[in-house]
Structure 1
Amino acid sequence: MTTIPTLRTQRLTLRPPVFADFPAYERLMASQRSVYMGGPFDMRAAWGMFCHDVALWELFGHGALMIDVTETGTCVGQIGINHGPLFPEKELGWMIYEGHEGKGYATEAAHALRDWAFGTLGLSTLVSYVDPGNAASIAVAQRLDAVLDPDAAKQDPEDLVFRHARR
């Protein structure tokens, strides 16, 4: 069985998902905030995605981690490396729960997981598939110094593909 890492940043703890994380995940996926990910989704679809995020660790050696604010222990979202038949390339993706946006959590968590993937997994590149209407995620990708790659394969035809290169 694969050991799922725990990563720490200055403010955050990125830790393995547990069943108790599902209710908040399900609320996000059922909300209008999930529209940029193809939602809103019902409970069955949200559960399938949550399980996918966990199963990726066993299948590929990477997957999703929950984002906790270390000082309070509050879970504020999820960061992950997606892969499999639904993703043309390994994708660095993030989502922040309602009420926790605008504090830099997505950027900080993505930076840590990206660097872990480059260092530990030896990856040379990752992409982030972003809906063109999702200004917040576009800003995160830009803060991570990812660049638009118009020639990259897309998950959905309208996606913007931001490429993260190993530095």
Structure 2
Amino acid sequence: MALIPTLNTQRLRLRPMNLNDWPAYAAFMASDRCRHMGGPFAPDRAWGLFCADHAQWDFFGVGALMMEDHESGCCLGQVGINTGPLFPEHEIGWLVFLQAEGLGYAFEAASALRDWARDVRHLPSLVSYVHKDNTRSCRLAERLGAIPDKAATGHAPGDVVYRHFGPQAG
């Protein structure tokens, strides 16, 4: 069984998922807010994604962490590294619940997980698969220092592939 890290940032605790996270996750996945991720999703499909986010830790040593506010303990969203047969490369992604959108939490969480992937897991590169119409996530990927990689294979039609660091970042 893989050791799932807990990472701390200035405002967030990035922690392993637990069953108490399911209702907020399911509500997000059932909403139009996940339209750029292929949603909205029915509960059974959302449950499968929730379980896969957690199971990747055991299978691949990466997966999802929930963003929890240090002060309130409120779960604000999720950041994760996806891999496996459905992903051409290790992908860092994020989702932010409505009450936390626009407050910089995704940037803070993704920065910490990206650095962990590079410094602890020694991944040579990460990508983000962002739908071209998801302007907020495109801007976030660029704010994180990622650049579009036109030569990379996307995860779904309409994706822009953002490369976070390359082999030279060893």
TM-score by structure 2 length?
0.96
Partner of 2:35: 35
Which amino acid is 2:54 matched to? V
Gaps of 5+ in 1: none
The share of aligned pairs that are identical, in percent, is 53
Dislocated runs of 4+, deviation >3 Å: none
Give, in angstroms, the shift of residue 157 of structure 1.
Answer: 2.4
1:70-118: per-residue Cα shift (whole Å, max 9, x none)? Answer: 1111100000000111111000000000121010000000000000000
Give, in angstroms, the shift of residue 38 of structure 1.
Answer: 0.2
For the pair 1:164 / 2:146, whether they are aligned, the reply is no
Partner of 2:61: 61
Which amino acid is 1:71 matched to? E
What are the equivalent positions in structure 2 for 1:126-145 lying under 5 Å apart? 126-145=126-145
Give, in angstroms, the shift of residue 139 of structure 1.
Answer: 1.1
Cα distance in 1 for partners of 2:85, 2:32 equals 26
1:22-62: per-residue Cα shift (whole Å, max 9, x none)? Answer: 01000000000110000000000000000000000000001
Cα distance in 1 for partners of 2:4, 2:164 equals 22
Give, in angstroms, the shift of residue 12 of structure 1.
Answer: 0.5
Cα distance in 2 for partners of 1:155, 1:3 equals 27
- Pairwise CA RMSD: 0.8
Give, in angstroms, the shift of residue 130 of structure 1.
Answer: 0.2
Cα distance in 2 for partners of 1:72, 1:11 equals 10
Partner of 1:73: 73
TM-score by structure 1 length?
0.98
For the pair 1:9 / 2:42, whether they are aligned, the reply is no
Cα distance in 2 for partners of 1:151, 1:31 equals 32
Cα distance in 1 for partners of 2:95, 2:56 equals 17
**Number of residue pairs aligned between Structure 1 and Structure 2:** 167
